C-alpha cells in the first residue's frame, strides 16, 4: 500500500517501516489518525489503552467518509460499556462492526481489538499519498511465489492479516496435553455364583 509512507517518522526509511510487526504498524496508523484528528489521545497497545473507547471514537470519526454520519457522541457517555456500544454503533455505519463486542473493548481483549483495528485499516486506511522521495521496494517473485500470491490475493485482507499475525505468535498458545490412554477393557467373566439361564 503506497500510503504507508505517510507513517514514516523523521529519518526513517521504507525498509525500516516494513520491518515492523503488523501490530506496530497498526499502532502507528492509529496514532497517525489520532494526531490528524487533533486529539491528545494516543494508543500504545490494543488492551488497556482502548478500554475507555476514546481512541476508537476519534479514530472512527477521522477515517469515516464525511457522508456516513459517524459522530463522537459516545464520548459524552460516562458508563464505559454504553460508550463502547455507541462507538461500535458508529463503526456499523461504515460496515466495520466486526470481531469485537462492547464487552471485548471494555475488557481490553487484545486479539479481538487488533482484529477490529486491522479491519478498519483494510477498509478505510485514510492515508494520503505523501511524496517522501522514497518508493516501495520492488520484489522479484518466482513462479511458486506468484501462484501463492495469486491465491492469497483472493483472501480478504482482514482475514489474511489475522492469519499472518496469528501464525507469527503461535508460541504464545498453550500446547495441548496428549490424550490419556484409556484402560484396556477385558471381557467380563461370569461370576461363579450366577446360575446359567
Question: What pLDDT score was predicted for residue 192?
Answer: 61
What cell was used for 174?
Answer: 498453550
From the list 26, 76, 35, 36, the residue with the least C-alpha distance to 54 is 76
In this predicted structure, the answer to whether residue 183 has a pLDDT above a threshold of 80 is: no
List of domains in the chain: 2-144+156-164 (1.10.418.10)
What cell was used for 84?
Answer: 463502547
pTM above 0.75, yes or no: no
| Candidate ranges 12-21, 61-70, 182-191; pick with highest mean pLDDT | 61-70
Question: How would residue 172 be classed by pLDDT, with cut points 50, 70 and 90?
Answer: very low
Question: What pLDDT score was predicted for residue 117?
Answer: 95
CA dist 15 and 28 (Å) reads: 15
**What is the rounded average pLDDT for all residues in the chain?**
79
CA distance to 7, 188, 189, 197, per residue, from 193 (Å): 86, 14, 12, 12
Amino acid at each position: 500500500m503506497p500510503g504507508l509512507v505517510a507513517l514514516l517518522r523523521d529519518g526513517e526509511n521504507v525498509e525500516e517501516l516494513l520491518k515492523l510487526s503488523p501490530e506496530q504498524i497498526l499502532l502507528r496508523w492509529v496514532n497517525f489518525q489520532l494526531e490528524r484528528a487533533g486529539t491528545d489521545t494516543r494508543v500504545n497497545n490494543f488492551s488497556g489503552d482502548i478500554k475507555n473507547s476514546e481512541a476508537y471514537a476519534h479514530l472512527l470519526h477521522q477515517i469515516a467518509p464525511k457522508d456516513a454520519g459517524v459522530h463522537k457522541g459516545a464520548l459524552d457517555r460516562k458508563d464505559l460499556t454504553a460508550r463502547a456500544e455507541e462507538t461500535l454503533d458508529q463503526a456499523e455505519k461504515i460496515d466495520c462492526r466486526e470481531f469485537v463486542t462492547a464487552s471485548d473493548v471494555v475488557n481490553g481483549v487484545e486479539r479481538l481489538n487488533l482484529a477490529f483495528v486491522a479491519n478498519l485499516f483494510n477498509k478505510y486506511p485514510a492515508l494520503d499519498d505523501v511524496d517522501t522521495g522514497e518508493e516501495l521496494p520492488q520484489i522479484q517473485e518466482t513462479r511458486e511465489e506468484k501462484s501463492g500470491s495469486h491465491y492469497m490475493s483472493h483472501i480478504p485482507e482482514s482475514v489474511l492479516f489475522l492469519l499472518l499475525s496469528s501464525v507469527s505468535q503461535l508460541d504464545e498458545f498453550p500446547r495441548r496435553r496428549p490424550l490419556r490412554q484409556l484402560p484396556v477393557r477385558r471381557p467380563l467373566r461370569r461370576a461363579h455364583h450366577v446360575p446359567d439361564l
